[in-house]
Structure 1
């Protein structure tokens, strides 16, 4: 069944690109009636802990807290359980389908039942484009929607956390066991791809791990990744061993959250699967939290939540005897605080929300990563273009994955990644001296393999289908991502109603330093394509943006028209001293309240370089331990 459904969805995506057929695709939502409550029912609605959001952090915390059978835990999730949906399950499980439904266009929303369909405000740094921002709305959250790259923060970036929080417990060495706790590691199966360079890894990075989240490598490496690795080597970026011991420099295959047993994505739903039989854990689905409730003490103590079942409109209240933990993500955690009366005075008064705790930092200081890169035609290797442009080939590979868990659909697409730090002389040349003050191991740029046409990332499946059909060629891209961004954004509320999407303004590329670094990074990706190691597969001149784009101004303009988020929004409820922009103390506790914490990427004091999934699992493990210790 999964085979036919994925094929149908791919064809529907291609139909949307055709103006003659798009009007007939009437149903854009694939919501299904789900069980409102998963787990055991209690008499009454009182729990020790209530967790808002069953995402990467929330489901991890719930599983850890419910290990104590004497503790009652409720998780309230607005989305469905994707595993119960015959349409969304294959879209989530199959690694190669991660390109579906994450584009910058609202039309790329085939799996919108598990996505919030957020859209940014018009972005000055993106030439006033409003970009769809994919976010997971399901058990598993965005760990069920991302590109599955697992890579840990650099040591220096977590040392920076210790500095920003004033808490030495946040160093990399002190938190390594929390990184290890959530995951189990399986070495790559090199025998499946003998013609490609073997993925290296550091087994000791995972020696303490026995958690439910599976870390491994795809059963097939993208053929393009070999050429990218060799080209980066030629241009001065060496192959490194791994990116999980606190060092981010060099190029290597990325470890991924893929289950080696069946080749499927491994998300935080694995915590749910391991804990679902516990009678002290209840998971509410299709339940939209509207506000946090407080008693009248000073400071106000969180004592519960109010939510609405989205399928019926029925309202409910739950009560927490110990704590409310908000894990709603970088957009909705600050939103929920604000609609509950915690946040900037001007926003609360503008929406007639009684001020419970005034804190101007809520929703401020948002950090995010963006990417962009040139595309070239290639021959002699297969890419995403072939899958998108040839339905018969897609069908063959769907069968290959379904039966053997092999082929291109077993790959998460971006399997080769690299990190580079510009030297101080280059930073001086770019008038970007402030980046020299970052910890010495903090890279400035990440490069990612992308075996297909990317462009503005509006709809990868459609873009590659059109390019392949019109040219008869295949395409590859090397993406550059800014991982030391200077530009900051905000999350503000548009209403006192939490079901109204917040105003998301990432502020991408508004800082002049980011602009200069972006242009330099783009030029660097072109250098990689000029390497001798790349020449055996190139099949003509640059496809995007093309040889007419040469000056810095032209490159910057193209970047503004095509940049895309890497979906790493963070820091909107930061753990810092309040006078320095903080919303939380170093134990995730909301300033000015009692019994209320926020634990997700919004709590990051700063956004580490690279991909944050591993760090979200880490802070969830840390938070669970702190909550247990502080509620003995």
Structure 2
């Protein structure tokens, strides 16, 4: 059904393929699909995209609501990894869910498309990356987008590959959450992606769903079957293949290609020989915040002591490879409300579930076409009155865009409003509305380190959650704000409502009476990963621990680049899908500017 090959046989795998390409892209996830699509626009070059996971979309992986809840489907390439137990204050190994497939995490994420406020990118410019300022990245967001509706959104792209929509909230609870936010001084923002809108407030969210009501993953947006068929003479996509190491020429400062093996098949176990695929021009790593540093370390690029520990020849000592791993962290506050007001009603009432499946199948309507959340609150905790938890933003009024750029505008907390349980593993059969309180600018970070020479083995993952005292301080403020927000919500909600998961849920004490120690204990016991891993090959000077330069070249190699969330100089205070697409688009332009006279970025 697709012009893709998924075979375990090395012979059949390359029966109709070449062993040399102009560009080799390693990793067919969110970024890899975009880079492959853009580079293969050139009819004179050849592009190979390799991905170790599958290509197929199951029906469930296309349905917005269902696909956001799938975490066990092998057809979506879903795998589970775990952080090191010692990495957590409670000694728990936290689970990471990823999709290793064509399209990657864009097949299973919450589909939320947020650019982030301009100040995120202005901060990147201030720390040394002048050509990553808002004025440099904004055109790429426009290029990505095909925004449906929103006729007043003059900032939005209208002809890009990614379909973006907004639906009205599914549940009454959103209206009351909005009223509760307004009581605390937060304005109603019309569009979280508008650079001229307020930076902090209650916002409806945009998400990547196409006109047919299907999830619009990177796979479907950038590499639809018809496009791949038209480009079959120059674009080769091979799934079921793993990159074992890069072929690096240290003297010439070049990546000559990549060694590969079949992934997850009997032949791989019986025949451990590698096949070298050569690159005439460039090799681009798109393995994500885990895969890209892992492959570099296996190839002899990384911290010298780690490489020598595994008897790997050191090709380039780069201490930043695998360092600086970051994620957003979340603390759920859950309010119990009647089942008709949450997604739990689908579980409780099979007839209602069947009805919504029929609505979706026949007319593209109902709950199935929506993402798991419709709105969120963004705020900066430095603007909170600690006695009342009301917000009083302090903007830099000298800045040309004081609402979105300048000191005090970058949010450090997001509260996702989630009409389901945020602690599903502990609270089954409960109708919960969750205030998913996320730390957007954590100073804590961790690392990724290989544990063996086996490219199939998971590396050691450490996130260092709450290792920074600043993060603990922000978490306390955010938690108090969420508790006050929950209090206001419960007061206005016209149906029975009570705190169910909260530090004062059992005692009923006022949020003001909770001590720092009680809040810290609740945070440590309930903190969760948000699956926004980034910055493990971050952009910076080599002497500062950086891995790539401002054009995404790995230090020491003129034709080896990284294009994924691992290169973020700092984790962006927003959902990471849109910035990842932006990085991929920019990388493709950097490459074109290198190889085509007259091109510009």
State the TM-score, normalized to the length of structure 2. 0.87
Checking the alignment, whether the CA contact within 8 Å between 2:106 and 2:577 is kept in structure 1 is yes
Distance 1:298 1:617, change over 3 A: same
2: CA distance between counterparts of 1:222 and 1:293? 54
1: CA distance between counterparts of 2:491 and 2:149? 28
Deviation of the 1:329 alpha carbon: 0.3
1:283 aligned to 209, 233, 237, which one? Answer: 237
Task: Name the residue aligned to 1:94.
Answer: 63
Distance 1:292 1:541, change over 3 A: same
User: Helix, strand or coil: the match of 1:134?
Assistant: strand
User: Helix, strand or coil: the match of 1:543?
Assistant: strand
Task: Name the residue aligned to 1:18.
Answer: none
Deviation of the 1:440 alpha carbon: 2.5
Checking the alignment, whether the CA contact within 8 Å between 1:328 and 1:600 is kept in structure 2 is yes
Deviation of the 1:591 alpha carbon: 0.5
Map 1:205-216 onto structure 2 (within 5 A). 205-207=155-157, 209-216=158-165
Checking the alignment, whether the CA contact within 8 Å between 2:192 and 2:204 is kept in structure 1 is no
5+ residue gaps, structure 2, are: 397-405, 597-601
| CA offset digits 1:574-609 (Å, max 9, x no partner) | 111112220000000000123101110001111111
2: CA distance between counterparts of 1:423 and 1:486? 15
Checking the alignment, whether the CA contact within 8 Å between 1:292 and 1:305 is kept in structure 2 is yes
Task: Name the residue aligned to 2:483.
Answer: 526
1: CA distance between counterparts of 2:22 and 2:41? 13
User: Helix, strand or coil: the match of 2:308?
Assistant: helix
- Segment of structure 1 superposing worse, 414-423 or 601-610: 414-423
| CA offset digits 1:452-471 (Å, max 9, x no partner) | 2212x548xxx44x22xxxx
Task: Name the residue aligned to 2:446.
Answer: 489
User: Helix, strand or coil: the match of 2:437?
Assistant: strand
Q: What is the root-mean-square deviation in Å for CA atoms of aligned residues?
A: 2.8
Deviation of the 1:364 alpha carbon: 0.6
The reply on whether 1:169 has 2:131 as its aligned counterpart is yes
The reply on whether 1:255 has 2:195 as its aligned counterpart is no
5+ residue gaps, structure 1, are: 1-31, 84-88, 103-108, 189-200, 468-473
The reply on whether 1:443 has 2:411 as its aligned counterpart is yes
| CA offset digits 1:229-250 (Å, max 9, x no partner) | 2211122111012121346321
Deviation of the 1:429 alpha carbon: 13
Distance 1:139 1:110, change over 3 A: closer
Checking the alignment, whether the CA contact within 8 Å between 2:124 and 2:569 is kept in structure 1 is yes
Task: Name the residue aligned to 2:402.
Answer: none
Task: Name the residue aligned to 2:18.
Answer: 44
Distance 1:139 1:562, change over 3 A: same
1:543 aligned to 476, 492, 500, which one? Answer: 500
1: CA distance between counterparts of 2:388 and 2:246? 50
Task: Name the residue aligned to 1:4.
Answer: none
Task: Name the residue aligned to 2:172.
Answer: 223
2: CA distance between counterparts of 1:544 and 1:327? 38
Task: Name the residue aligned to 1:135.
Answer: 98
Task: Name the residue aligned to 2:560.
Answer: 596
Task: Name the residue aligned to 2:154.
Answer: 204
State the TM-score, normalized to the length of structure 1. 0.83
Map 1:186-585 onto structure 2 (within 5 A). 186-187=148-149, 203-207=153-157, 209-218=158-167, 221-246=170-195, 248-259=199-210, 261-269=211-219, 270-273=221-224, 275-277=227-229, 278=231, 279-295=233-249, 297-310=250-263, 311=265, 312-313=267-268, 315-379=274-338, 381-423=340-382, 439-455=407-423, 457-458=424-425, 463-464=427-428, 466-467=429-430, 474-531=431-488, 535-545=492-502, 546-548=505-507, 550-585=514-549
User: Helix, strand or coil: the match of 2:49?
Assistant: strand
2: CA distance between counterparts of 1:159 and 1:328? 26
Checking the alignment, whether the CA contact within 8 Å between 1:380 and 1:537 is kept in structure 2 is no
Checking the alignment, whether the CA contact within 8 Å between 2:490 and 2:498 is kept in structure 1 is no
Question: How many residue pairs were aligned?
Answer: 559
